[in-house]
Amino acid sequence: MMSSEHLTCGWLQQLLIVLLKLCLTFAGPLRPLNGTECTAKGPASYILVFTGHWSPHAFPKQYPLFRPPAQWSKLIAVSHNRHFRLWEEGAPASAGVQNFSEIGVTVELMKAAKEARKRRAVSGMYRTAGIPNGIGHSSTELLTQPRNSLLSLMVKIIPSPDWFVGVDSLNLCEGSQWKQEVTVDLQPYDAGTDSGFTFSSPNFPTIPQENITKITSEMPNHPANSFYYPRLKDLPPIASIKITRQRRSSDRQTPMSNHILPNSIIPRHFSATPLDCEVSLWSSWGLCLGSCSRGGVRHRTRYILLRPANAGVPCPEMEEQTTCVSQSCMRLQ
C-alpha cells in the first residue's frame, strides 16, 4: 500500500505538468524578431516620411487618370513586439487587412491593435492623411519603446482591387542602440481577397481566400495585370519610407505631429519603364471583293489594346489583305 507522502508527490507532479501545458497553450507561438531583443535604456522618437513614386513615367500601363486618379490612402502604422502582426506575407489576410486593402476602412485594424495594446504587445498606433496623387509625401512622428521596437505599416493603392504597400515587423533597434535612419523601398502586395487584375477591376471576391503575396513584374503572370512588365527583371519602387531619429527631451509633452509634407521635397527619379504596344487578335477574313475575272481581295483587321509608351515596341499594322479565288468573290455594283 502506497504511503500518503508518495500520493501527495505524484499529485503535485501531475498538477505541475498540467499548469505547464496551460502556460504554453495560452502563450502562443513566438514569432522571430528581425534581429535580437532591444536592450536600449529608453524610448526613441522618429519622423516617418512616406513617399509615393507612382507615376506614368515609371508605371505607364493602365495608369489611372480618372474616377479616381492614382492616389494613396491614409497610412496606418503600429509599433509592437513579436506577439503581434499587422500583416504577413505568405499568410491569410485578417478581416482588418481585407477591409483596409479593399475599401480603405481602418476600424478592424485599429480594433485588433487596441486589443493587442491591452496585452502590451502594441505600444503605439499612428496614421497620416491620404495623398491625392500618385507622387507625394505624408509624415508622422513615432515614439517607440524598447519592449515594442518593431514597426509595421500599410498604405492602400487607390484605385485597386486589394493591393497595398507596407512594412512587416521592421526592427528599429539593434542590440542596445536605436537606429539613426532607415530607408525602405516598397513594392505592391496582393491581399489575396479579391480576384481583380487591373486597377479599376470590379469587386470579385477570391474564393477560397489566398495568402498575401508580393506583386512582381511577372506575377500574376497574365497580360491583363496592371503591373505586368515582362521586359523588367524587377518593378521600380512604387513608394518608399524614410525613418529618421530625432532629438526629443524626456520632459517633452507636446502631441505627436501628423501632417502632409510640402511637394518641395526633391523627388527621386527612376528610369522610364518601356511599355510595348498590345493589339487584339485578327478578325475573321471578310468577303472577297473585286473583279471576279481577275480574282479579288479580302481584308481582316485588329485594334490597339494598349498604346506604347517610353520607347516601347511600336504597334504593328492594323489591317491586312490577301488575294482570293474568283469563285468566292462578290461583284462590286
Lowest mean pLDDT among 127-136, 278-287, 324-333: 324-333
Q: How confident is the model at residue 26 (pLDDT cuts 50, 70, 90)?
A: very low
Query: What residues are paired with 243 via a beta bridge?
Result: 48, 182
Specify the pLDDT at position 254.
44
- For strands 288-289 and 329-330, give the pairing: parallel
Specify the pLDDT at position 328.
54
What gap in Å lies between CA 246 and CA 166, rounded to an integer? Answer: 23
Specify the pLDDT at position 215.
97
What gap in Å lies between CA 162 and CA 199, rounded to an integer? Answer: 9
Residue 331 in this model has a pLDDT that exceeds 70: no
Q: Cβ distance 228 to 210 under 8 Å?
A: no
Q: Provide the 3-class DSSP secondary structure of residue 50.
A: strand
Q: How confident is the model at residue 291 (pLDDT cuts 50, 70, 90)?
A: low
Q: What proportion of the chain, given as a percentage, has pLDDT over 90?
A: 60
Residue 156 in this model has a pLDDT that exceeds 60: yes
For residue 74, give the C-alpha cell. Answer: 491614409
Residue 148 in this model has a pLDDT that exceeds 60: yes
**Average pLDDT over the chain, rounded to whole?**
85
Domains defined along the chain, listed by start: 44-245 (2.60.40.2130), 278-324 (2.20.100)
Q: What are phi and psi of 9, to 5 degrees?
A: -65, -45
Residue 93 in this model has a pLDDT that exceeds 80: yes
Mean pLDDT, residues 167-192:
96
Lowest mean pLDDT among 132-146, 184-198, 305-319: 305-319
CB contact burial 160-199 (16+ within 10 A = b; e otherwise): bbbbbbbbbbbbbbeeeebbeebebebbbbbbbbbbbbbb
Query: What residues are paired with 136 via a beta bridge?
Result: 52
For residue 293, give the C-alpha cell. Answer: 475575272
Q: Cβ distance 221 to 239 under 8 Å?
A: no
Query: What secondary structure letter does DSSP report for 86?
Result: S
Q: Say which amino acid occupies 274.
A: P
Query: What secondary structure letter does DSSP report for 205?
Result: B
Residue 106 in this model has a pLDDT that exceeds 50: yes
Q: How confident is the model at residue 113 (pLDDT cuts 50, 70, 90)?
A: very high
Mean pLDDT, residues 248-260:
49
Say which residues have a Cβ less than 8 Å from residue 137's Cβ, sequence separation at least 6: 49, 50, 51, 52, 131, 260, 261, 262, 263, 265
For residue 112, give the C-alpha cell. Answer: 485588433
Residue ranges with strand state E in the chain = 44-53, 71-80, 122-128, 135-144, 150-158, 163-171, 173-174, 177-178, 181-186, 189-190, 213-214, 239-246, 258-259, 278-279, 288-289, 296-301, 304-306, 319-324, 329-330
